[in-house]
Structures are given as structure tokens and as C-alpha cells.
Structure 1
Amino acid sequence: MATATQKRNRKSNKPTKTNPSRYIGKPAGVIQARIREAGPQHFAVISVDCAKARSVWMICDYYGKVLVEPTPVEHQRGAFDAMIGQIHGAFKEFNITDSIAAVEMTGVYHRPVQAALRKAGFDTRTVHPFASKHYRKPLHPNLKTDENDLEAIFHAAINGYGLSLLPVDPVYQSLQALSRHRVNLVKQRAKLQVQIRILIHQTMPGFADLFIQHHFFKKSIAIPVAKAFPSAAFIAKAGTFKIAESLRKQKVRFQQPTIERIVAWSKIAAEPSDLQAMLSVQWQQLIALWELLTEQIGSTEREMAGFLVRTPYVLLMSVRGINVVSAASLAGEAGPIEHYASPRAINGRAGLYPSRYQSDQVDCQGGLARVANRRLRAACMMVAKNLIKCHPYYRGLSAYWEKQKVDPRDRHVRIANRANRMVYQLVGGRQIWRGKGVDREAILSKLREFHRDHHSDLEQMIADMNEAFLWLPKSTYASEAKPLAELAAKKRCGPQPIGDLLINLLLRLGVGTADPLESQSSEALES
């Protein structure tokens, strides 16, 4: 479902004094002025149709005259060097003064050719497969060949669909790679959890039902007990005392009534499968794999935090309901906020708007736009779900729409649209949350809590907090220092108390003697 849109007075695209001309096509693909300056005969388009191991390229001028016939190139350094040399030779022969290189996107396999052309200094553009297919269909309806694809890529490029990509900082690229890697790990772990529960049910029928479903793997003693006592008979024989002793050795916190409930189940449990011994080995092996994936997810999230604090998206953590993972995922998929002219640009790229069919007097709105950046949409929807769950303002909006019987999917899209407006203001304006009636959260304290939950090193924690400090507005120094000063004032034992590590950060936040609490904290630090 897509949210209904209201009619608004929008800026016209007609020519004006400030904008004397308007071009049809994508703004990032406009090349008309360059063609007019260089001359159509002296403007060339390098078309590249990519595959996994090799690509095919050709050169045409603006009129479509073929200057270099379709030529294959292997994805190797020497082959790329030869291609670049041949391109320069053709430009010199035909007196080409300006050009673009149009590379069709093919998963990740187009990137070696794209990188080679950019390194050689060519204005390298990307052509979406939808655009090239659109131009190939009328030309060659039933023939899809590399040469026909090259013709379609050429027509797409000269008509404004060879899009230039803005440069992206490696920090955002790293965030994108880490967030996508985390998503893959989480999906694999979720599949494992389903398999483990099925196998445990066959060897210990009814054991998994003793615990809340979403607490079975993380917030319960189910897995430690099952690993130590892999059958109902073992549990009944061990009793509450031995189970409690085993959990203490594993340093797992527990409550006695939970153990008593497990022992009571073991005495009335149904008979296990005839293959109990083999199936027990299988789910124990899967649990070892699940623990490995959990460790990798935690390590990936710690890396994400290290990159997040180097971007202004860390300011989103001042909003209740947005933490490191959701902010880092949005930053990785959205990229630099400077690439967007308005919040509508973010919503448009994510496809958070209804599709539309209009012809003459027929004007219909359909479901959510199908062609969009799906990963960016997923990151926006994750932020929206977290806000509905944790933030009073957005939770109230969702509850109000629920009473109006608005579809749940539509509610999430509406919240995502509004959240992107807030994201644009906070990240673009280097601000923090200032919503009425909802207190903002301390970013540094929230970041410290994240690292504490992920068992990060103190050095990494302090380094990330110092990086995050650089993005804070000066007006927030006092409120950010307050919870840290309270923490530093506490007496802690150990070779390197956290209070000693926080001294420099507190000084940068301006902790002085003006406030009684800050004065006490400073005295505690000095002592």
C-alpha cells in the first residue's frame, strides 16, 4: 500500500528567466550543452556492454557513425590498457574533442571496466539495463546480441540516460558493505534458528515451548541447558542442583523457578525420535555455527559504529528509537546527505511514493513504486519500525492512523516519509533532535552503552566517542557531559578505570565548576 498524496502547488518545469531551457530526461544525464560546444561530429560516446569475464565496447559519434567497431576486452589490466590506447588513437584520428563513456550496469561485473575508464580520465556514466532494454526492443525486437545491446546503450546515453554518479567517500562505501554483510549474516542466523528449533523438538519434545519464542536463543537459559543436558532423561537425572551448578560454571545468570520448570517438564516429556543420538549431534553442530554467526554479527556492528561516528549520521542517535545499526544502515545506503536536494529526493530514490497511471481524464494511483533502490527503502523502513516501537511521537501517529483503519503497510510508509524529513534536517543541518514533548537522548552516553553491550575494548569506545564529539553542536556540550560526568565520578577498580579515559573527553565538553554536579565530578576525577 502507498500513502495517498495531497495536491500541492509545486514549482513548474516550464522555462523561466532563471531557467531559460528545460531538457527531457534525467538531470544527471544531460549532455546537450557539451554537444553544442564540441559539435556533434566531434563528440563521441564509448558504449560498453559488460559481462563477467569480458566486455564488448565500441565508439560512435553523436550522429551514430561507428568510429570503432564492437571489440571484446578481457577483464585484465593489460587488456584495459590496450583498450584505452585504442580509444585515444581513435579520438586523435577522428578529431574527437569531448566524449562520455556509457557502461551498462551488470551487477558488480561492470565495475572493473568502469574503474579503468575513470582512471584514464573519461567521463564515465552508467546506463540502467531497463533503459538499454527500452531502446533495444524497437530496434531489434527478437534479437538480443552484444552488438544490439551496444546500439541500445548508445541511444540511451545520447538521450540523457547515461547517468553520472557523484563521488562517494570510502567511509560511506564501507558502511554500505558492512550493513549489507550484516543483513546477510542475520538472515543466515535466522534460518539456522529455525533448523535448530526443529531438531531440538525431535530430540526434546516440548522443551522449546517452555520459553518465549524470541527469547529462546538470547535471553533465556535454553541453549546452555540443552548443550549440557541434551535430553529429557539427562535433565531428570541431573535435577535442579546439578543444572544450577552447570550454569554457574558457564557464567550464565538464571532464576531457580525456571530450572524447576525445566525439571518438571523432563518428567512428563514425550518420547524422543528414534534418531535422537544423531539428531542431537546435528543441532549441537548447528548451535556452534549459530554462535560463530552471532560473534561475526557483533564484530560487524562494532565496525559499523567505528565508521558511523565519522559521518554526520551519528547525530540521528539523539532520536529515541535510532541506534547504531539503524543509523549506520541508513548512512551506508543513502550516502552523503549533500547529494540530495530535499527530503523528497530521499523518498523518491527509496520509492516511498505511490505509482500512478494517468491518461487523458483517467488518473489512478496504485501501490508502492516498484522500481526503486530497494536496499535504501529497507533501511528507511527499519528506521520507521524502530520509531513506531520506541518513539512516543511516531508511536502516537501510528496509533491514530490505526484507529482510522489505515493499512499497517501504509502506516509504515507514512512514518518513513516523515522520518526522512527529520533525517534531512538533522544530518544536513548538523542538528540534534529538538521535538516538542520528547526529550532527546545523549549521543555519547548511547554510544558508550552500545559498546558496553557489545563488549568492545575501552580504547575503541573512547576513540569512537571522541570522533562523535566532533559532530556535536556546542549547545549540546553540557547535556552530553552530564551522564558521562556521573559515570566518571563513580569509583571503579581495575588497572585503567573508565573515569581516567573520559577525562580528556569531559574537558573537551567543557566540564567545569559552574554546575554543582560537574564540580563534584571534576573533584572526583582529580582525586
Structure 2
Amino acid sequence: MPYSVSTRKRTSRKLNPRKNPSLQKPNGVISPRVQKVGGEKFAIVCIDPAKHRSEWMMADYYGNVLIQPQTLEHQGPFFQAAVARIQQAQAEHDIQDTIVVVERTGNYHLPPKRAFARAGFETRVVHPFATKQYRVPANPGNKTDKTDLHAQHRAAVAGFGLCEYELESPYRELQLRERHRRNLVEKGAGIACQIRDHLHLAMPGFASLFDRLVERQAPLAIASRCDSPAKLLQLGQAGLSKHLRKKNIRHQVRTIDKVLAWAAQAANDPIQDGPLHHAIWTDLYELYQHYHRQIAVLERELAHDLVQTPYIRLLAIPGINVVSAAELAGEMGPMTRYANANAITGRAGLYPSRHQSDQTDHDSGPIIRQANRRLRCVLMRIADNLACHCAYYRGQADMDQTRGVDTRACRVKIAKRFSRLALACVAGDQPMRHPCFRKPDSILEKLREFHYLHQTSLDRVLVDLQTTVEQLPYNTCGHEQQLVAKVLEENTARRKGGVAIGELLPAVLARLELRTTKEHKNGDRS
């Protein structure tokens, strides 16, 4: 069900109008260019793409067709011929300015977009929703390639042919990897549910013995050894312990005793298709383990890309880990593209819809539907983490819960607050005075612990830690320097595990001291 961002009635506030308001989208404005050359000398090339071919045409700003609609195959020679045809039309009609508008259609619009961009044309993208809104009034019930092209032209004239920013490295790699990882996580979660279902059909009640069934090795290793409770009883405690030790799986005797106690009660209820369900869930578990290994590899790569961006600074916030910071960096791109925090939540669609007509004004409706859903999901997942692991945001969530605010609306409020904090933390270089920074986490220690859990090689860890130092603001280096020295001292006193850390942290500590000394001499900070 849709939910409101606020449960109390708010009075509508009048925003200050812009000095030069425009009805066109900011990144779709073409009117100044049209005024400069004249409408009859400004051309718009419209392309309606499909999988293997596209329909395209060329018309001036006023809608006079210069090139009739025709088919364009998605191959190099045909793109070159289309470019030559456009250049010929430009010369014949004295066209002085031209834009190419391609309708977004999955990934099918990318070949023509890249081809015309390489040819030197300014290539823009129009959303299918805008095309539909301009087609239906003119051609109701008649959707063809020709009517779509005409609608695209009208949308481009109205300013809905939008310029898209291309992500640069490392943000492009971050986006591709974090989306691939999220896809594998979702598929792995579905497979985990199937594993639990077939395991329950093979040995009813076994799955309910453990809370984190798929994440723990011992339970499924025991279940994979036998396809029935009777066979578990035959092996006994000694046989199961031997089996787990052979696979190098750490376990406790009470875990085996709990399984044997369940098997003693379930042995009298044989399952007809038990062996078949056992074979199915073991196959699924092998696939799940493959996904799990690939996810670990992707997370190591995400960490390597993240340290090259200022988003690594977000690790100082309790509740933000490497993966969530990498997902946010991949979906948002460079922070310099956002003028303020409202631009972030506006792109994510985290604001209420509004319906106003005459004296009626419903300004606190459900959150809007048309938005960047991937960015919205990342912000909401971060809001969940902050509400659980950050003392400041957990207090805000508890206060809202006491007041009876809906949990989903509370998460939206946290995401809004976090967007302001993220903008200041990533784009700024001043000391953070936000309440959640009273006891900030160590960025370097959190990154080192992440690599330790992912079993990353020491060379790669050292490179990532030293790269992180270059992304830290000056006021953060002193805090990190103290924490790194403290961790090095504690691990040296323990002697256990001190070899690996002793090889890493001295070099990082030296890098921190070098940077703080250098910046202090240069007068960057007093």
C-alpha cells in the first residue's frame, strides 16, 4: 500500500520562484539555441530503436519533415550512410544546428546513440513515458513507428530530449559491479529459499533447528551426508564428527547432539521422495556456494574501486560498510553533479506526491512512483542499517516509533537526513559536527577488517589502504593516525595475528604522518 511521508497535516509552503523560470527540463532546454539560429535552421533527428534496427526521420524545429521516416539497420555501414544522409540534408536546407533524440528502450537505444555521438552529433534521450504522453492526444489508439517518431519530435521541442551524463572511471566500474553483485545476491536469496523447502521435504523439521541454515557450514554438511534421519542415527556422533573434520568444518558437539535428538524422533516417519528432494537441494546448494564465491570476488573489486572515490569517507559513519558505500557511489556518481541534498532525494523520488486543484491541495500524498528506483533502494537499505547500528539515527527511529509514525515513513526521513550528511561528508572538507560523528568509526580499520574477512592478499590490502589515505580530509587524518597506531600497538602486544597487521599498518601510519606533515607545511589547515 502507498504510504505518506508524514502522518500529520502540513501547511503548504510557497517556494521562491526562479529569476528566469523555464517550462522545459533543465537538461533538455533547446530554446536558446533555436532563437540563435532560427526554427527553420534547427533540425531534430528522431530515432525509435528496436533490437536489430531502428526507424528514424529528420525534421526542423517547426515540424517540417526533411528526411522521411525510414529503417536503419544496426550495422556500421548503415550508420555511416545515415550520417551522410543527414549531412546532405543539412547542406540542402542550410541547417546550422542539429540534435539527435533517441527513445530509451532497454539497452536497444545504445547502438544508435553511440554511433551518432561518434559522428559528432549531440545525442539526447527521451523517455518512453514522454513519447506516450505526446502520442496519445494526437493519435489515440494508433501506435506505430511513424506516430512514435512524431511524438518524439514534439517531446524534444518541449524540452524532454534530455542530455545524459556518462559515468567515468571508477564510477562506471562501480555501478556495473554493484548491480551485478546485487543481482547475484537476489538470486542467491531465492535459491536459499528453495534449499530450505526441499530440505524440509526430504527431512521435515531439520531446517527449523538452525536460524542461519544456509550461512552456516556444519548443518548443511551434516544434512548432505545422509538423505534420511535413520542414516544419521547409524553414523552417530563419532561418524558425523569425523565427516566434519574431514571437510575442515569447525563444529561443536552440542550441534551434533541436537541433530541426533531430532533424528531419533523423525526416524519413524519415512519420506517416500526423500532421496530425490535430497539430490535437488544438494545441487541447489552447490549453485548457492558458487554465487557466494562470486559475490566475495565482486566485493573485493568494489572495495578497490571505492577507495578511489571520496565516498570512502562514509565509512566513518557507524552503520555504513564498504558494500553500502560502494552501492551509493555507483548509483549516484560524482557528488559534484548534485547542487544540494534535495537533488539527491529528488532523483530517488523520496518526496510526497501532490494533487492541487482550485481550493483543494493534497500536498502529503504517497511518495512518487516515477523515480530512479535503484538509487531509492540503496538509500532505503542504508536507512535500515543506520536505524539499527547508528546511535543517533536509532534514537530518531525510536522517537518516531513512540510517536506512532509508520516505520516506512521513518526510513524515508532517515534517508532524507542521510542525504544531507552524505553531501557534506563526500563533497566537503570541513570537520563534521554531526551528532553521529561524536564517536566516528575508523575508516582504515573498517576497510582492513573487510579485507581480512574476504581473505584479500596483503599487497592488495596495502594498496587500498594507501589509496584511502589520499581520499581522507585533512581533519580526519589525525584521528585515523591515532586509531591505526592504537590497533598496531594492541596487535603487537597480543602477538597472535600480529605478523599480517605488522606488515600493513606501519606503512599506512607512515603515509598518514607524511600527508599530515606535508599539508600542514603547505598551509592547507591551521
RMSD: 2.1
Question: Which residue is equivalent to 1:441?
Answer: 441
Query: Bigger CA drift: 34-43 or 167-176?
Result: 167-176
Q: Indicate the larger mover: 276-285 or 40-49.
A: 276-285
Read off the aligned partner of 1:506 and give its amino acid letter.
Answer: L
Whether 1:243 and 2:246 are equivalent positions in the alignment is no
Q: Deviations over 1:160-180 (max 9, x none)?
A: 111111232132122111121
Alpha-carbon offset, residue 221 of structure 1 = 2.1
- Which of the numbers 321, 333, 343 marks the counterpart of 1:335? 333
Give the one of 209, 231, 234 matched to 1:234. 231
2:16 alignment partner AA: S
Summarize the Cα distance change of 1:179–1:2 in structure 2 as closer, same or farther, 3 Å threshold. Answer: farther
Q: How far apart, CA to CA, are the structure 1 residues paired with 2:23 and 2:308?
A: 38
1:277-356 equivalence runs, <5 A: 277-356=275-354
Q: CA deviation at 1:154?
A: 0.5
Query: Which 10-residue stretch deviates more, 287-296 or 225-234?
Result: 225-234
1:456-477 per-residue CA deviation (whole Å, 9 max, x = no partner) reads 1122211211221111012222
Is 1:175 the counterpart of 2:203? The answer is no
What runs of 5+ residues in structure 1 fail to find an aligned partner?
515-527
User: Which of 485, 500, 504 matches 2:503?
Assistant: 500
Check whether the contact 1:31–1:158 (CA below 8 A) recurs between aligned residues: yes
> Given residue 228 of structure 1, which amino acid in structure 2 is its aligned partner?
R
What is the CA deviation profile of residues 191-223 of structure 1, one whole-angstrom value per residue up to 9, with x for unaligned ones? 1111111111122121111111xx111146211
- Letter in structure 2 aligned against 1:131: A
How many corresponding residue pairs? 506
Distance 2:514 2:23 in 1: 57
Give me the whole-angstrom Cα distance separating, in 2, the residues matched to 1:301 and 1:6.
43
Percent identity, aligned pairs only, is 41
Match of 2:521 in 1: none
Indicate if the aligned counterparts of 1:347 and 1:353 stay in contact, CA closer than 8 A: yes
Kept in 1: contact 2:488–2:501 (CA 8 A): yes
User: Which whole-Å CA distance do the structure 1 matches of 2:499 and 2:56 have between them?
Assistant: 61
Checking the alignment, whether the CA contact within 8 Å between 1:176 and 1:332 is kept in structure 2 is yes
Match of 1:12 among 16, 34, 43: 16
Q: Which residue of 1 aligns with 2:138?
A: 139
String of CA shifts for 1:80-127, please: whole Å, max 9, x gaps.
111111111111111111111111111111011111111111111111
Distance between the aligned counterparts of 1:292 and 1:166, measured in 2?
35
Q: Distance in 2 between matches of 1:509 and 1:185?
A: 37
Q: CA deviation at 1:247?
A: 2.0
Moved more, 52-61 or 488-497: 488-497
Q: In the alignment, which residue of structure 1 is the partner of 2:157?
A: 158
1:302 touches 1:456 (CA, 8 Å); kept in 2? yes
Contact 1:315–1:431, Cα closer than 8 Å, also in 2: no
SS in 2 for 1:444: helix
Q: Is it true that 1:463 corresponds to 2:468 in the alignment? A: no
Q: Which letter maps to 2:468?
A: A
* Comparing 403-412 and 496-505, the one that deviates more: 496-505
Superposed counterparts of 1:39-188, under 5 Å:
39-188=38-187
Q: Which residue of 1 aligns with 2:215?
A: 218
Alignment-derived partner of residue 203 in structure 1: 202
Whether the 8 Å CA contact 2:429–2:474 is kept in 1: the answer is no
Q: Distance in 1 between matches of 2:313 and 2:250?
A: 35
Alpha-carbon distance in structure 1 between the residues aligned to 2:123 and 2:274: 61
Q: Give the Cα–Cα distance (whole angstroms) in 1 for the partners of residues 447 and 209 of structure 2.
A: 35
The residue identity in structure 2 corresponding to 1:348 is G
CA contact (8 A) 1:351 1:371 kept: yes
8 A contact 2:227–2:274 mirrored in 1: no
In structure 2, the CA distance between the partners of 1:384 and 1:432, relative to structure 1 (3 Å rule), is: farther
Match of 2:377 in 1: 378
Q: Is the contact made by 2:458 and 2:500 (CA closer than 8 Å) also made in structure 1? A: no
Partner-residue secondary structure (3-state), 1:139: coil
Decide which of 264, 267, 270 is 2:264's aligned counterpart.
267
SS of the residue corresponding to residue 466 of structure 2 reads helix
Tell me the CA shift for residue 11 of structure 1: 4.7
Q: Distance in 2 between matches of 1:493 and 1:407?
A: 48
Equivalent pair of 2:392/2:435 in contact (CA under 8 Å): no
Residues 141, 190 of structure 1: CA spacing in aligned structure 2 closer, same or farther, 3 A cutoff?
A: same
CA contact (8 A) 1:47 1:150 kept: yes
Q: Mean alpha-carbon deviation: is it higher for 423-432 or for 377-386?
A: 423-432
TM-fit CA distance, 1:487: 4.4
- Report if the CA contact (8 A) 1:357-1:363 is conserved: yes
Aligned mates of 1:505, 1:454 — CA distance in 2: 20
Moved more, 356-365 or 219-228: 219-228
Displacement of 1:481:
2.8
Conserved 8 A contact 1:205-1:272: no
TM-score scaled by length of structure 1: 0.91
The AA in structure 2 aligned to 1:394 is Y
Match of 2:250 in 1: 253
Verify the 8 A CA contact 1:42 1:96 in the aligned structure 2: yes
State the partner residue of 2:524. Answer: none
3-state SS, counterpart of residue 355 of structure 1: coil
The one-letter code sitting in structure 2 at the alignment partner of 1:218 is E
* Residues 179 and 7 of structure 1: CA distance in aligned 2, closer, same or farther (over 3 Å): farther
> C-alpha distance in 2, partners of 1:396/1:125?
45
CA distance in 1, matches of 2:402, 2:295: 38
**Is the CA contact (8 Å cut-off) linking 2:4 and 2:409 kept in structure 1?**
yes
Structure 1 224/511 Cα, relative in aligned 2: closer, same or farther at 3 Å? Answer: farther
TM-score normalised according to structure 2 size: 0.92
Distance 1:255 1:496 in 2: 29
Q: Within 2, Cα distance between the matches of 1:310 and 1:76?
A: 37
Q: Is the 8 A contact 1:355 1:367 kept in 2?
A: yes
CA separation of 1:8/1:434 partners in 2, compared to 1, >3 Å: closer, same or farther?
Answer: farther
Letter in 2 for 1:30: V
Bigger CA drift: 461-470 or 355-364?
Answer: 461-470
Q: CA deviation at 1:504?
A: 2.7
Please, which runs of 5 or more residues in structure 2 have no aligned partner?
518-526
**Per-residue CA distance 1:474-527 (angstroms, 9 max, x = gap):** 222232133433444545699984423433322111189x9xxxxxxxxxxxxx
Task: Give runs of aligned pairs for residues 394-433 of structure 1, distance below 5 A.
Answer: 394-430=393-429
SS of 1:44's equivalent in the other structure is strand
**Aligned equivalents of 1:456, 1:6: Cα separation in 2:** 52
State the distance in 2 between where 1:7 and 1:456 align. Answer: 54
- 2:5 paired residue number: 3
SS at match of 1:70: strand
In 2, Cα distance between the equivalents of 1:10 and 1:357? Answer: 15
For 2:502, the aligned partner's letter is G
Q: Residues 177 and 302 of structure 2 are in contact (CA less than 8 Å); yes or no, is this contact kept in structure 1?
A: yes
